[in-house]
Amino acid sequence: MKLFNFFKTELAIDLGTANTLIIQDGKVVVDEPSIVAMDRRSNEVIAVGRKAMQMHGKTHENIKTIRPLRDGVIADFQAAESMIEGMISMMNHKKKLFGYMKMVVCIPSGITEVEKRAVFDSADHVDSKETYLIHEPMAAALGIGLDVEEPVGNMIIDIGGGTTEIAVIALSGIVCDQSIRIAGDEFTMDIMNYMKRQHNILIGERTAEQIKINVGSALHDLETPPEDYPVNGRDLMTGIPKQIKVSYGEIAHALDKSISKIEDAVLKALENTPPELASDIYKTGLYLTGGGALLRGLDKRISQKTKLPVHVAEDPLRAVVRGTGIALKNSDRFSFLIDRNSI
């Protein structure tokens, strides 16, 4: 049996719209942006992850950068396979070349059967012999240390790159959920549009992402505000590059509509919650995970709207992949894992 385990590679994969994380033997071995750079002529992969991200928005006509996932699901099948292969090869582990591979991949809760099949097929193409899927809110709940098998209601709000997943979890299952396609990518687009409309300056996706990280805010009034952030872009009137400074208040204004939509989805999920579980949620509060949880003041804003306590998970970016790793270790115990036979 030990010999078989030597040849066995077990991977937990958080296949995210913005970032892909892979856990092996309880350790995060890959944490890279979900992007691949390809040669337009030969369709060969030039770079994957961080190297491809450095090329994003800076390529010439012979190179294209592709983000294979949109709104949490595979949008470009071939690029997704190339990206997964590239990231697995980054692990630099000999036994992956000839071993038995087992995977648990996490997916949004609002995913269709066709989209699930696309994930299974991608796993097949990278030689996974045993593949399971887990819904993101369930993985996030496991990752932050909640006991999902107890008859106690917990509400998870997982704000990723492509989707915001809101789910009430009890007895190893999702009781009610809301999955909306407004999350980190939408925030980035809001910032790009705001800069264009308000300052007549054109910026790229990567710059907008940096603005979000440095001065992004959900509240117009923060106790410890970040300093104004210098932004370089192209002036739409003159066509000449220029620099302006933006404050966190401006970005809070830019993100206001999108955050309101997330708040509405949280309220809708609470409306659909059975009364006994609602009583539990009143005591336990709401748990915020995913990259969006790092947005300044978002926990306070949701708390003001719902009148409930909101807890931001420790290391929210890795909560989902940690939970996927726990599910991988205990795959025989958890009934909520989806295998190929159940679709």
CATH of residue 277's domain is 3.30.420.40
In a domain, 194, yes or no: no
Size of the chain in residues: 343
- If asked whether residues 241 and 134 sit together in one domain, one would say no
Q: Is residue 188 part of a domain?
A: no
| CA end-to-end distance (rounded Å), the chain | 31
Domain range enclosing 277: 147-182+255-316
Total structural domains in the chain? Answer: 3
pLDDT in tens, the chain (343 residues): 444 455 678 899 998 899 999 998 889 899 999 999 999 888 899 999 999 999 998 889 999 999 998 888 888 888 988 998 888 888 765 444 456 888 999 998 888 898 889 889 888 888 888 999 999 999 999 999 999 999 999 999 999 998 999 999 999 999 999 999 999 999 999 999 999 999 999 999 999 999 999 999 999 999 999 999 999 999 999 999 999 999 999 999 999 999 999 999 999 999 999 999 999 999 999 999 999 999 999 999 999 999 999 999 999 999 999 999 999 998 888 888 888 777 6
Helices (H), the chain: 2-6, 50-55, 77-90, 113-125, 136-143, 184-199, 205-215, 248-271, 275-284, 298-306, 319-329
| Calpha distance 161→71 (Å, rounded) | 7
My answer on whether 15 and 118 are in the same domain is: yes
In a domain, 190, yes or no: no
Structural domain contains residue 38: yes
Q: In this structure, are 18 and 69 located in the same domain? A: yes
> Are 172 and 280 within one domain?
yes
What CATH number is attached to the domain comprising 204? 3.90.640.10
Alpha-carbon gap, residue 157 to 136, rounded angstroms? 10
- Give the Cα separation of 234 and 250 in Å (integer): 19
